Structure formats: C-alpha cells, structure tokens
Amino acid sequence: MPRVPGARNRLKDTPVTGPKRVLLAAPRGYCAGVDRAVVAVEKALDHYGAPVYVRKQIVHNIHVVRELEKKGAIFVDEVDEVPAGSHIVFSAHGVSPAVVNAAAERGLRAIDATCPLVTKVHREAVRFASKDLQILLIGHEGHEEVEGTAGEAPEHTTLVGSPEEADTVVVRDPDKVVWLSQTTLSVDETMETVRRLRARFPNLQDPPSDDICYATQNRQVAIRKVAEDADLVIVVGSANSSNTMRLVDVALEYGAKAAYRVDYSSEIKQEWLDGVSTVGVTSGASVPEELVQEVLEDLAGAGYGTVQQVKTAEEDLMFSLPKELRTDSSGAQDARALGGRTRLLDWQRADAAGE
C-alpha cells in the first residue's frame, strides 16, 4: 500500500512540556519464522512462477500479504479453492494433519512454511497424546495456530482461552494433564493461566520448554522497558496479529499512558500526540521494518526527531527454508539474512537428520 500523499506533513508540531523524543524498541519487527515464511513464498514464485497459492495469510500482516499478491501469490481460505496439481504454501501458523491430507487428495504440491517453533509444539502434542495425556492448550479460539496444534491430537486437546477459563476447565484425570500454548501470547497472562491450572491440578505437567516463542517474549520485554517512560506507545502491526495486539496490552500494563496499533503511519491521529513528550514505537513480529521507518519519518515531521533505541536483547536465530526450496545440501537459508550468524536449534538438526 503506497504512502498516503502528504502523510508526512499531516501531524502538527504541537508544543509540549519538555523535549520531544522517540523511544524505539529493539528487538522489533520480523522474526526468523516470519522471514522464513515470506521468503518461502517469494522463492516459490521465482522457482515455479505465478500463481502460487497460499492457505490463509502467510503471516498476519496486511502489507506483506498485499505485496505478495502483487508478485503473483493467491491467498485462499481452504485447499479446496486451489486448482488440482497447483503449488500451495502452508502459512507460518501451521496446519493440522487434516489440511495436509486434503491437499494431498487434490494432488497439490505443498510447501510447508510453518514456523519451526510452531512445529515443535505440534510434535509435543503428538507425543503427549501418545502417552494418553489430556492436553490443556492455552490459546485463542479460531486462531490458525491453535487450530493446527489441536488438529494434531483433537481427542486429547482441550482449549483454555484465558486465566478465567482455567478456573472452570474440566479434565478426565487430574493426574494425567499437560499444558501447551500458542506461541504468540502474552507471557504474563500465559503464566497466570498455568498458575491457576496448577492450583487446581497439582500434577499438571510442563512442556520440555516454554512454548511462547523467543521473538514474542523479546518484543514484550522491550516494550515493557519503553512503556515505563512513554506518554504514548505506537505499535505497528495488523489487528489479526496476536503478538502485535499483546504489545499494545503490555505497553498499557507497564506504564504507557496510551497505546495504539496502526498498520500504516497514515493512521496516526493528531490528537494522540497532543501534550506528548515521549513516544514509544515498536512493531509486531510480522511487520517489515519499512513500515516502522515511515512512522519515524512522520513523527520527525511533527518534531519528534530525536530517536533513542532501547535494546533489551540480541537476536541471531535463522531457520532453513522449507526442504522443497533449499538450494544446497546443508539447507542453509540462501537469499536473505536476518543479521548475525545462522544458528539451527538442536531439535531442528535432529529433524533434518531424520531422527
């Protein structure tokens, strides 16, 4: 979507008490799983030609989806909308075995762009179900990731949507329960849900590691630090992005006087800035940096030209592309670097080796 004409000059330079500044959260924006998924669609288009079909939004960002549509990607809700024999990419949020089977029945050539951290949760669900454990899946009903994870073991999975639901959820055997979670939730709210579950079910088992992804946690920690000193926080990202919406919640919880989400800088309202000295800025894990830079340009035009970066973590994780798109035997990602060194997780190495 092009910048709205004159958008940079929409915001007025209004007087405030104290110097105007921007606190820019880091880390922010694209995570390794999002980058992998977007590159997968681009590579598929380069390799196979347009159209390439994508089930659901490849990542939850309207700008990314629109840009890929311009290149020839066609987004569909279900595989039965895709012509038989076509290439289809499964989104970063993952799919259930039922979707995989439906695609195979139509003869679709599938490219699985599921984030490896989501794949890890899927494997945990399968393993726990094989032990006849009831899985209490913490997440948002209707979210693609939750549907995919639950679809791995539907008869063993019960959704817990909030801390309040933890107080009423019914289990078959309180000694045979384990929790998993959607990867993009609020860290604090998820841990509160687990606390309440454990208060009712003391023998509740934990997954081998926290399911909330590193990028979600890092962005929440960064915005906590920013929010302490911010009169206003602007979060760039789309409304259907769970991790983006949690950043708004966390900013308010940790001290920001106001916090708003925007897809584009043109959505910033003048009244948000009235009387504001310090603006915090961050973006969700599926947001390209160019959208953040446009926000900073508009804020600079309104007098917020001083930008101070607030960094709370370094990120150097990268994931290999889906196997159908790899160009060398090592499986190293080969077209776009996220910065830093390539570091594959131990469980991902084991999977690549067929263990």
- Mind telling me the catalytic residues? 145
Residue 307: in which H helix or E strand, if any?
A: strand 307-311
Q: Note whether 178 and 134 are within 8 A (CB).
A: yes
Q: Where are the alpha helices (DSSP H) in the chain?
A: 32-48, 62-71, 97-105, 116-130, 144-150, 163-166, 187-200, 214-227, 242-253, 270-273, 289-301, 346-352
Q: Is 241 annotated as a binding residue?
A: yes
Question: Does 156 carry a binding-site annotation?
Answer: no
Does the annotation place 183 within a ligand binding site? yes
Q: Is 342 annotated as a binding residue?
A: no
93 is an annotated ligand-binding site residue: yes
Residue 92 CA to residue 59 CA, distance in Å, equals 6
Q: Which among 1, 30, 23, 25 is positioned nearest to 243, based on CA atoms? A: 30
Sign for the pseudo-dihedral over CA of 305, 310, 316, 318:
negative
CA–CA distance, 150 with 135 (Å, rounded to integer): 9
Is 71:45 a contact under the CB 8 Å cutoff? Answer: yes
DSSP 8-state assignment for residue 205: B
Residue 60 assigned ligand-binding role:
yes
Q: Is 47 annotated as a binding residue?
A: no
Sign of CA dihedral 141, 250, 66, 264: positive
Is 190 among the annotated ligand-binding positions? no
340 by Cβ neighbours in 10 Å (0-12 / 13-18 / 19+) ranks as exposed
Whether 176 contacts 132, CB under 8 Å: yes
Residues contributing to the annotated binding site for dimethylallyl diphosphate: 60, 93, 143, 241-243, 286
State the binding site for isopentenyl diphosphate: 60, 93, 143, 241-243, 286
Binding residue ranges: 31, 60, 93, 115, 143, 183, 213, 241-243, 286
Binding residues for [4Fe-4S] cluster, as ranges, are 31, 115, 213
